[in-house]
Structures are given as structure tokens and as C-alpha cells.
Amino acid sequence: MSDSTKLPTTLGDLMTRDVITGRADEPIEDLRIGMERYRFRHLPIVEDGKLIGLVTRSDLLHASSTWLSDAAAARDALIGKQPLGKIMQREVITMRPDEPLLDAAKVMWEGQLGCVPVTDDENNLLGIVTTTDFLKLAVQLLGGKIKDPPT
């Protein structure tokens, strides 16, 4: 990292602002397709811009049928038609954009969280910070360069 590059210190400095979001009434199958196509692991669920839940890749895997079952394909087809609201986490830890990155890292570590949605005081989604964001920052701080994964 060069001397002219400002070191991020708050969530607002590091967060991804252009966040892919979903609605509680969208089918689970759309999420699976989106996660594969756009390579993301966390989907904030919003209603009128306000965060109402979160679906992670783990939530999606827990909702899927086991591949060991003879009826897995048929079950997954039925599961895929269900709304995201059925599998979303409703109690989501959020933080504000002015909070220190160190605090966010501790919250994520202690809660074993893959992400923290960033909201304002009215719960409007402003962005998201993920473990990947912290890994990219670590590489930069260690003097390395990192390129985004292929899309």
C-alpha cells in the first residue's frame, strides 16, 4: 500500500456499496443461480430499502436436499420454488458505517460471521463487509497485489 493511499479505518471505508439484494418473496432457486453466476455468499433481504433478513450460502445448503437421497432432484425442485423468507435469518447483526474496522473484525470473529450488513439508524442497507473484504485488505497491507476472481 503506498503512502498516498488512505488506510481504511471504518466500515464505510471498506464496505461494498453496490450490494446485490433479494426480496423475501423471491424463490430460493433464483438465489442459487445468482450465487453461482455472480460469486457471492451473502444475500441481504430488503423491503423498501430496509434490511429485513439475510440468506447465506450455508442457509441455502441447509435448505437443500442431501445428494445421498434418491429423490434429491425432485425435493430440490420443490425447495427451489419456496420463498427466500422461509430460510432467511431474521435476526441479523448490523453495524454503522462510522464504526471502526477493528470492532467489525471482532464482531465477525466472535460471532463466526461471514459478513456484516452496514445500515443507517433506520435500518436502510448502505453496504456490506465480508471476510473476503478483510482478506483483500490484509493482502494489501502486507504489500501484495490482488486481482478480483473471474466472473
CATH code assigned at 112 = 3.10.580.10
Q: In the predicted model, is pLDDT for residue 1 greater than 50? A: no
Dihedral sign of CA atoms 36, 58, 131, 13 in order: positive
- 79-106 mean pLDDT: 92
Q: In the predicted model, is pLDDT for residue 39 greater than 70? A: yes
What is the number of structural domains in the chain? Answer: 1
- 18-42 mean pLDDT: 88
* Contacts within 8 Å (CB) and 24+ apart, 1-7: 1/140, 1/141, 1/143, 7/141
Decide if 1 is inside a domain.
Answer: no
Decide if 146 is inside a domain.
Answer: no
Q: In the predicted model, is pLDDT for residue 52 greater than 90? A: yes
pLDDT band (50, 70, 90) for residue 70: low
The helix-helix angle for 72-80 and 28-38 (nearest 10°) equals 100
Decide if 5 is inside a domain.
Answer: no
Report pLDDT digits (tens) over 111-121: 999 999 999 99
Q: In the predicted model, is pLDDT for residue 4 greater than 60? A: no
Decide if 147 is inside a domain.
Answer: no
Structural domain harbouring 54: 11-141
Q: What is the model's pLDDT at position 3?
A: 47
Decide if 90 is inside a domain.
Answer: yes
Decide if 112 is inside a domain.
Answer: yes
Report pLDDT digits (tens) over 6-17: 889 999 999 999
Q: What is the model's pLDDT at position 149?
A: 65
Decide if 89 is inside a domain.
Answer: yes
Q: In the predicted model, is pLDDT for residue 65 greater than 60? A: no
- 57-73 mean pLDDT: 70
Decide if 88 is inside a domain.
Answer: yes
